[in-house]
Amino acid sequence: MSSEDKDSQEDELLALASIYDEDEFKRAQDVQGGETRISVAVPQNFRVSLSGNFTGNLENSKLEYTVSFLPPVVLNFEFPPDYPSTSPPAFLLSCKWLSQAQLTALCRHLDNLWEENRGSVVLFAWMQFLKEETLAYLNITSPFEPEITKQEKQPKEEDGCYDIRDAASAHKESSDTSTVEDVESLSILIKEILDFDQSQKEKNFNCKMFTCDICFSVKQGSECMDFKDCKHVYCKICLKNYFEIQIKDGQVHCLNCPEPECSSVATPGQVKELVEEKLFALYDRLLLQSSLDLMADVVYCPRPSCQTPVMQDPSCTMGICSQCNYAFCTLCKMTYHGVSPCKVTAEKLADLRNEYLQADEATQRFLEQRYGKRVIQKALEEMESKKWLENNSKSCPRCATPIEKLNGCNRMRCTACMQYFCWLCMGVLSRINPYKHFSDPDSPCFNLLFQAMEIED
């Protein structure tokens, strides 16, 4: 490697690191190379259209979404010793929403850019092309329907498909083995595109500054929240107080945007983010009950980025979202689990037993069907056991083991850790002379060794 090539490579890597953040450019540790994640420029109101059998019916359906961001085009590269004087960078190009043929076309254009700039550094030109001209170069317009191609044979490492050292020559073949398409199905592609679009929107929102229309304070987006339909923005502190007041008053259907005459409503995911867990449980229960009273056949998709109303069969607890194809239990909002009872965490057992004891007979039957009678019985038994321990035992001051005193003096010894302690003040006693605590005039338990003890002649 000539000194000029080495200096050019180092300068180019330093320049890329200063231009792009860590999410967009990562330099390799062991070689002269790295990885870039290029976000393709997407025009306004860009729509992605997907056709397929999403519901399991005989007929195909068509889904269409408006997105502002698409998953990045990933460019892995490595500099040969004689770059940029003679050879181009070896590279590997991949993308979740482009077909093999489209990636091949991009690879060939990157070759052409190198030929036009032979002898000069070319990575920045490659990245700018991928960012600004990918859609136009591939004649991709809205609505865009990605092409899903299945490979009959999974490439192996020895084929050169994943070896970056061979990629520069490999992608010139007609099959273009330097491209990798990692989309396995339409459902995965839908999730990838929507989740990435949502995460990028949140990232951009968190970096901006907004004026809360309630307290009129100027705050960063990470301290604010917007209503999905109207896009009105308020700080989280004001919305938290507003939500709490409405929920405590039982007005779970009145969590509207505070803007006068605005009909936008907060999603359950937004409410859960701001209010305490117990208050959200009250909100969730009231919302479920009122919804069942009014529209017993409608539930909401539990994915925070979706929240689409879903029609369900009253005889079944399974809901399938028509937008994101998520199959879920309409009771616990988790992935559908068939006839098995809804799972309950150890932390929720206390709330479950309290709710069961305070419920009427109909609600108790509903809880037994939802969680199973064994789970309910276990929760009640644990509550009784805990109450008994609180009333009849004390915890060892060293290991916290519950200990019951049946008889004997106030010098106690834990059967778990063998620690001596005083039953009256729960202080730790000396292992050598535990009775000194009761014979020392300065001790709070002086002469109280046998206090409250029944002594028989």
Q: For 343-377, how does the pLDDT look when each residue is reduced to its tens digit (9 = 90+)?
A: 665 556 667 767 777 788 878 777 776 666 677 67
pLDDT of residue 182: 40
What's the mean pLDDT in 102-115?
A: 92
pLDDT (tens digit per residue) in 249-302? 888 777 889 888 888 888 888 899 999 988 988 888 887 667 655 655 677 788
Q: Mean pLDDT, the chain, as a whole number?
A: 80
Helical segments of 208-294, H only: 236-248, 268-274, 277-294
**Per-residue pLDDT for 44 more than 80?**
yes
* CATH match for 209-294 among 1.20.1300.10, 1.10.12.10, 3.30.720.210, 3.30.40.10: 3.30.40.10
As to burial, measured by CB atoms within 10 angstroms (0-12 exposed, 13-18 middle, 19+ buried), residue 335 is exposed
Which of 203-239 are b and which e, b meaning 16 or more Cβ less than 10 Å from the residue's Cβ? eebeeeebebeeeeeebebeebbbbeeeeebbbbbbb
Largest CA distance in the chain: 111
For residues 133 and 43, give the distance between their C-alpha atoms in angstroms, rounded to a whole number: 11
Higher pLDDT, 5 or 57: 5
CA angle 51, 54, 59 (to 5 degrees): 75
- All structural domains of the chain with their residue ranges: 3-138, 209-294, 346-391, 397-456
pLDDT of residue 161: 33
Nearest CA to 182 out of 95, 283, 280, 86 is that of 95
Helical segments of 51-178, H only: 100-116, 123-132, 134-137, 164-170
DSSP 172: T
What's the mean pLDDT in 108-124?
A: 91
Per-residue confidence at 240, pLDDT binned at 50, 70, 90?
Answer: very high
DSSP 193: H
Report, as residue numbers or ranges, the catalytic residues. Answer: 409
pLDDT of residue 286: 82
Q: Are 145 and 67 in contact (CB under 8 A)?
A: no
pLDDT of residue 37: 92
> Residue 213 half-sphere exposure, CB side, CA atoms within 13 Å?
11
Q: Which residue has the tokens 């007979």?
A: 361
Domains 3-138 and 209-294 share a fold: no
The pair of structure tokens assigned to 232 is 């009105």
**Per-residue pLDDT for 170 more than 50?**
no
β-sheet bridge partners, residue 66? 47
Percent of the chain with pLDDT over 70: 80
Enter the CATH code of domain 3-138.
3.10.110.10
Q: What global pTM score does this model have? A: 0.51
